[in-house]
Amino acid sequence: MNIKTPKLLLLAFLLCSIVGISQETSKSILEKLQKIPQVTDVSENSKTSHFEANFELWFTQPIDYNDLDKGTFKQRVLIGYSSPEKPVIVELQGYGIYTNKAGELANHYQANQLTIEHRYFNDSRPKKINWETLTIENAAKDQKRIISAVRKAIYPNAKFVTTGISKGCQTTMAHRRFFPNNVDASVCYVGPLNFKREDPRVFRFLKTVGNETEREQLEAFQKLCFENRSVLLKKLKKAAKSNSYTWEFGIEKALDYSILEYAFAFWQWGSPFDNIPTTGATTDEIYTHLIGITGYTFFEEKGVEGLQPYFWAALTQQGIYGYETKPFKKYLNTEELYTFEWAFPEGINIEFDEKPMQEIDYFLNNFAHKMLFIYGEKDAWSSTAVQLKNEPKKREMYKFVHKNGSHKTRINSFNQAEQENIYSIIDAWVK
């Protein structure tokens, strides 16, 4: 008699049972999601990361919550299902959804993940956009409806934690300001809180970040670009022809904007100083480095079209920055600020409303609770970082700044002791 046989049969039976349970669970979840009143389409996708199942949903949302006669649009949502007992990490995108993989928090906790595409990005938009309906309040109401519906359908007992990166961090702050108790806690990464369309704190930051030698090195490169402007313009025209690039304000202005953007982008992404071309570098080296830092799409028409919802939000409620030209007056013949007003949708130009960000700031420093902010010290967007006041720790409000960090700063950017400290705070929120 072979005594190993029963063990093998038992193991095979257990494996089949596990697969069967997984399939049954997946089917049950799908059915529950299909019953959500606002959901029009649900599909199960290929598994990613540690998730047991992945789903894509389309929620029908009002274009304007203050005027339901304006119609509806469909908003894309992804769910990475792990377990009903695990926390749900809600990834609030400030833009479109770019991945269905687990983010830092979902991966750390092997948690569920609910990813919400921001209204009017990618396919989460009506056929014709009424731009005045793209407000932080309407977006927050989108997110509240989705979170509440998904919680009721499949996660009634789970802890919910919102998180977002950059504009996603702004989105997370706004959602908590309007619906402070819709989730249990929030973790926000590298998000600015601007109080002006062109917040002057950005200019002060660029004049003081790093050391004087580093700042002089960046300005020297910008001047080197202007001194070689005619040759760089030829190279840009060649790239434009090859890639069908166009710019609303013309290719010459596009080059000027790219050179002015250089310092902000350099600090934002934490680029190495050793790679900066100096006097004696070839124009190929200068051009390659400039475009490597600033890219083409931030100002190019097709890129602007894809980012139109970002520019609208930045120019109307969330703020952006501009470029001081005084150091380059010799080349530009002006000291006037270069701004982004050209990025408004055609035929529209409205005043910046300072009130929404002021209200968020007031909320964060008086009523908000259980929120944690992550920043990179030298990230240009840290110039307008959240400033926590009024005994924040009593409300479990925390801010961590990674020394020398950039816009790429995440929890795993910190040393082991700091990571343990950060996660000990979040641990208490998700248990």
Tokens of 128: 């014709």
Sequence letter at residue 401: V
pLDDT in tens, 370-385: 999 999 999 999 999 9
Buried b (16+ CB within 10 A) or exposed e, 20-47: eeeeeebeebbeebeebebbeebebeee
- Residue-averaged pLDDT of the chain: 94
CB distance 266 to 218 below 8 Å: yes
Least confident of 21-30, 161-170, 252-261: 21-30
CB distance 399 to 189 below 8 Å: no
Across the range 39-62, mean pLDDT stands at 96
Q: Identify the three-state secondary structure at position 423.
A: helix
pLDDT in tens, 315-361: 999 999 999 999 999 999 999 999 999 999 988 999 999 999 999 99
Rg, Å, the chain Cα set: 24
% of residues, the chain, pLDDT over 70: 94
pLDDT in tens, 85-97: 999 999 999 999 9
CB distance 72 to 62 below 8 Å: yes
Beta bridge partners of 320: 198
Residue 137 has pLDDT above 90, yes or no: yes
Question: Which pLDDT does position 5 carry in this prediction?
Answer: 46
Q: Which residues contact 17 (CB under 8 A, 6 or more apart)?
A: none
Pick the closest to residue 126 from 76, 72, 77 (CA basis).
Answer: 72
CA atoms within 13 A on the CB side of 366: 7
Q: How far apart are CA 207 and CA 210, in angstroms?
A: 9
Angle at 99 between CA 60 and CA 93, to 5 degrees: 55
CB distance 82 to 114 below 8 Å: no
Distance set, CA 318 to CA 173, 266, 294, 370 (Å): 11, 22, 22, 23
Residue 20 has pLDDT above 60, yes or no: no
Question: Which pLDDT does position 91 carry in this prediction?
Answer: 98
Sequence letter at residue 164: G
Ranges of each domain in the chain: 27-195+355-430, 211-343
Tokens of 363: 């909320």
Q: How far apart are CA 236 and CA 359, in angstroms?
A: 43
Residue 12 has pLDDT above 90, yes or no: no
CATH topology of domain 27-195+355-430: Rossmann fold (3.40.50)
Pick the closest to residue 62 from 52, 70, 51, 50 (CA basis).
Answer: 70
Question: Which pLDDT does position 26 carry in this prediction?
Answer: 84
Q: How far apart are CA 26 and CA 33, in angstroms?
A: 11
Buried b (16+ CB within 10 A) or exposed e, 316-352: bbbbbbbbbbeebeebbeeeeebebebbbeeeeeeeb
Question: Which pLDDT does position 22 carry in this prediction?
Answer: 61
Q: Which residues contact 295 (CB under 8 A, 6 or more apart)?
A: 265
